[in-house]
Amino acid sequence: MSARRLLAGVVLAGLILALAIATAPAHAGQTCEQKAPDTQALTRGLALAGKVEQHLKGSGADVVVIARVGQDLREYGQRYSHLGFAYRDGDVWRVVHKLNECGTDTSAIFRQGLGEFFLDDPFDYEAGIVVPKPEVQAHLLAVLRDNGRLSRLHTPEYSMLAYAWGKKYQQSNQWAIETLAMAEDGDASNRSRAQSWLNLKGYQPGTIHLSTFQRLGARVTQANIAFDDHPDKYRYSGRIYTVTADSVFLWLERSGLGSRPIAIR
């Protein structure tokens, strides 16, 4: 990446447009530890953003589903922890995604530059990208440009492991896939209808296996994790069905709604 592009990335990263006001740091799929700025992390994050930008500009796409490796989820059989939508805005690519207000059980929807998306202390510097088929892109683009529609299905109450078919909480990946469902189903004006459409189209949530000790420990120590929205028969057997980025990627390809996922490092 040239020095000029690196500087442009830094400037773009600082221009964050929030759809809802967040007074605390926002994160999704990462820890909330306060750390001093790391020059190497900054350089790597912006370098990855530059590679992604180059790829997107040559893809011919207007909208993609984009994911990052925020946490190390290999223990649970998952690669990507967090996803959102990247879309072309003139000559610039922006990202829309949902973020948890750090250390709390609430969240907001944000618009950011690509640089900002990859500067949130990721576990690994890798992006996952799926290109939706053209008609899906067109439907999504209309939603992504409209703040009202973009936040229509947003539930501020946040749990990182929200039940995929629940309504009490909503995690970041869940908001994204339900918003995609709303874009595709013109009658999906609420989360129930959006989830019905996803079920009809064969979406299958990811399964996270957690012991009783892990569940109790997470619930006691972290405000942004809850399990009371999960059916007892699943929760007590340690099967947590939630919307994972990997499960969304698999479904988009399997359903024909999107391309095979590609990784950019």
Please state the φ and ψ torsions of residue 104, each to the nearest 5 degrees. Answer: -125, 175
Distance from CA of residue 160 to its chain's centroid?
A: 11
Q: Given the structure tokens 């009783």, which residue do they identify?
A: 212
For residue 197, the enclosing domain spans 3-264
Residue 104 has pLDDT above 70, yes or no: yes
How many independent structural domains does the chain possess? 1
Q: Give the mean pLDDT of the chain.
A: 86
Distance CA 97, CA 108 (A): 9
pLDDT at 7: 34
Q: With cut-offs at 50, 70 and 90, classify the pLDDT of residue 172.
A: very high
SS3 content of the chain, % helix, strand, coil (to 5): 40, 20, 40
Residue 238 has pLDDT above 80, yes or no: yes
Residues 6+ away with beta carbon under 8 Å from 141: 62, 63, 87
Please state the φ and ψ torsions of residue 70, each to the nearest 5 degrees. Answer: -75, -40
Q: With cut-offs at 50, 70 and 90, classify the pLDDT of residue 27.
A: low
Of 264, 235, 248, nearest to 118 (Cα)?
Answer: 264
Residue 5 has pLDDT above 70, yes or no: no
Mean pLDDT of 17-23: 33
Q: Given the structure tokens 């967090």, which residue do they identify?
A: 82
